[in-house]
């Protein structure tokens, strides 16, 4: 991912990332899964990403590539016992908590029509689409993640859903 040739070829990068989950399975899978998640985890700092977008566009572009790559990789995790183990590890590594906390802590409390300014400020944050994409792929065919998100985020996501269609997030 740090190689310019690969970064300039999105299809190649996408294809490489779709096989990465399979490389983590099998013998010593816990070590491989840990290494894989720890590789991407520093990029999953959404407040830092928001700050980089306004202060350091070069670093923000690199972080965006890593977040996109992580989303693609997670989206490629198969619905199998190995895939469930990988998604459970990701969910319990703090990455899901980062997404949930970002949404819970920054989403306005009031409905869109009652506080449009606050919603527009929230939706203008560069990390919002990435947080939502990551939550979506983590939930895909993974009941543990679905339950964790449902326990805390459903009302906020419903409010966001109404706004997102109006603001095209």
Q: Does 47 have pLDDT greater than 60?
A: yes
Structure tokens, 1 = 């991912």
Which range marks the domain in which residue 81 is found? Answer: 4-167
Q: How confident is the model at residue 169 (pLDDT cuts 50, 70, 90)?
A: low
The domain tally of the chain equals: 1
Q: Tell me the mean pLDDT in the region 22-31.
A: 90
pTM of full prediction above 0.85 = yes
Position 26 pLDDT exceeds 70: yes
Using CA of residue 117, residue 119, residue 123, residue 127, what is the dihedral sign?
positive
The number of C-alpha atoms within 13 Å of 92 and in the hemisphere containing its C-beta is 10
The pLDDT of residue 144 is above 70: yes
> What pLDDT score does 109 carry?
81
The mean pLDDT of 109-134, rounded to a whole number, is: 86
- Non-local CB neighbours of 86 within 8 Å, separated by 6+ positions: 21, 24, 25, 33, 36, 77
28 Rama class: left (phi>0) / alpha (psi -120 to 50) / beta? left
């Amino acid at each position: 991912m740090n190689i310019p040739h690969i970064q300039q070829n999105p299809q190649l990068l996408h294809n490489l990332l779709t096989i990465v989950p399979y490389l983590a399975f099998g013998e010593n899978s816990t070590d491989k899964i840990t290494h894989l998640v720890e590789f991407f985890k520093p990029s999953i700092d959404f407040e830092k990403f928001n700050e980089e977008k306004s202060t350091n566009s070069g670093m923000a572009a690199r972080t965006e590539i890593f977040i996109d790559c992580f989303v693609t990789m997670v989206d490629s995790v198969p619905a199998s016992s190995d895939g469930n183990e990988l998604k459970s590890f990701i969910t319990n590594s703090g990455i899901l908590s980062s997404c949930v906390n970002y949404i819970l802590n920054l989403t306005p409390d009031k409905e869109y029509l009652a506080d449009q300014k606050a919603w527009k400020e929230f939706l203008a944050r560069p990390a919002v689409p990435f947080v939502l994409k990551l939550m979506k792929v983590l939930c895909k065919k993974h009941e543990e993640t679905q339950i964790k998100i449902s326990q805390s985020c459903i009302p906020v996501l419903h409010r966001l859903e109404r706004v997102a269609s109006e603001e095209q997030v």
